[in-house]
Structure 1
């Protein structure tokens, strides 16, 4: 039987005590007595690393415990929790407030395709029978661009795209945001997120300084300066799929998950 919460290792318990003293004078909550577990739910290629960097630093700033994990690994003492596939058993969670991010599935596919050509993530480097005893990464690298993008569409349909389609967008505990809006208006959207978490205005202002440091534009500048050839971040442009989707890609996508674009508000009909 899976336990709801795990006990943190002794080193983390010691760190937690240090954070407790920090928090007594840095508490970010407007009403500390009503503090709830903060949860951020994401999807693959929808700004997960970006949010992880921001929320981890925000946690450090205010002496809160941050954890990026699956729910069954969640510690009882965790105060900011990031789940990167938005797969939660809400009935087993303590009182919470959270954020949930989505992205145009077509752009997620393009971003995923280029990332999976070089990723070191374990799952993409395990040989599998369905790929001819090759890893997904090696299989993808064996294909040309058109076939590779089609392979990524097929993979994503039962992954991040399905996850976004079954999310409950009416849950009042969560603020739902679009990746595209966040890239355009980082401070405005993050302000809304922190306010939804229950932060007071001073804490929001301090958190926005962290947001500025990890700004999409600033990170890209630092990586360019340091000559990073491989990164989780690419262009961040919305609509990049238009340059790479062929008619065959569009037809396959519409047939298998075209309705999801309507549900998420990325299209109003199938004429795209």
Structure 2
């Protein structure tokens, strides 16, 4: 089985569109999309499969979530919550006055879960062997690759994505995948930010950086492969 996936606000739309387009061109290609990787997606599944997962800079994951949750039509974010005095997540974040406080709220809530979920899976698979169902140490590095959503932003990085995917899953046709990546990679599927660039530098204050450092593991950027600030 081939699994394709991403966490909330880390590239679900782009990676799903790429592989759906590929399947339209190659109908016999089969894959399963996982959009809730923190639920039921574990190392024992990866052991007998190939996985391609999309990740994102933690700072920008927070920014994207902060914008998205103010306009989303997803039912969960519109459901009244006791902890917000009967308001929904969306109503609560919309009612926060300052951008800084909105970012802080997102950082402590949905983005907190997302970033830690990315971190935990990647740290486990890159630093440790796991015990398989047969209780034999098994390294899952050969079964899983991580793409960065930022790689879709430039032509050279899109070429690198194609090379990584086709090396990882040799049955994928390189020419067809190149076309899919180029077509999808040039588009933005995020209504809240149309640019191919980071936005957190414009809004993160010193206190937000400090709060981030207090909330998340000290090696989160090293594990995910990003630079701080």
Give the secondary-structure state (helix, strand or coil) at the position aligned to 1:214: helix
Please give the per-residue CA displacement for 1:157-190, whole angstroms capped at 9, x wherever unaligned. Answer: 5421111111133322011222223323113213
Give the secondary-structure state (helix, strand or coil) at the position aligned to 1:164: helix
Which of structures 1 and 2 has the bigger CA Rg?
A: 1
Q: 1:197 aligns with which of 156, 162, 169?
A: 169
Q: How does 1:76-115 map to 2 (within 5 A)?
A: 79-87=30-38, 88-92=41-45, 95-115=48-68
Q: How does 1:100-179 map to 2 (within 5 A)?
A: 100-144=53-97, 145-167=99-121, 168-170=124-126, 171=140, 172-179=142-149
Q: 2:158 aligns with which of 182, 186, 194?
A: 186
CA distance in 1: counterparts of 2:89 and 2:110, whole angstroms:
13
Give the secondary-structure state (helix, strand or coil) at the position aligned to 1:109: helix
Contact conserved, 1:116 with 1:124, CA < 8 A, in 2? Answer: yes
Q: How many residues are aligned here?
A: 207
Please give the per-residue CA displacement for 1:14-66, whole angstroms capped at 9, x wherever unaligned. Answer: xxxxxxxxxxxxxxxxxxxxxxx11123111111101111111212221147x
Q: 1:234 aligns with which of 177, 186, 194?
A: 194
Alignment CA distance shift 1:93-1:248 (3 Å): closer
Alignment CA distance shift 1:139-1:231 (3 Å): same
Contact conserved, 1:140 with 1:151, CA < 8 A, in 2? Answer: yes
- Residue 210 of structure 1 deviates from its aligned partner by 1.9
Q: 1:209 aligns with which of 179, 183, 205?
A: 179
Name the TM-score, length of structure 1 as normaliser. Answer: 0.69
- Residue 248 of structure 1 deviates from its aligned partner by 2.0
Instruction: Determine which structure has greater relative contact order: mean sequence separation of CA pairs < 8 Å that are 6+ residues apart, divided by chain length.
Output: 2
Name the TM-score, length of structure 2 as normaliser. Answer: 0.81
Q: 1:54 aligns with which of 9, 18, 26?
A: 18
CA distance in 1: counterparts of 2:192 and 2:163, whole angstroms:
24
Query: After TM superposition, where is structure 1 displaced by more than 3 Å over at least 4 residues in a row?
Result: none
CA distance in 1: counterparts of 2:53 and 2:118, whole angstroms:
10
- Residue 198 of structure 1 deviates from its aligned partner by 1.8
Please give the per-residue CA displacement for 1:119-164, whole angstroms capped at 9, x wherever unaligned. Answer: 1112111110111211111111101211111100001354211111
CA distance in 2: counterparts of 1:181 and 1:114, whole angstroms:
21
Give the secondary-structure state (helix, strand or coil) at the position aligned to 1:159: helix
RMSD of aligned residue pairs (Cα, Å): 2.3
Alignment CA distance shift 1:233-1:64 (3 Å): farther
Gap runs ≥5 in structure 1: 1-36, 66-78, 224-229
CA distance in 1: counterparts of 2:223 and 2:14, whole angstroms:
25
Alignment CA distance shift 1:109-1:262 (3 Å): same
Alignment CA distance shift 1:151-1:211 (3 Å): same
- Residue 93 of structure 1 deviates from its aligned partner by 6.4
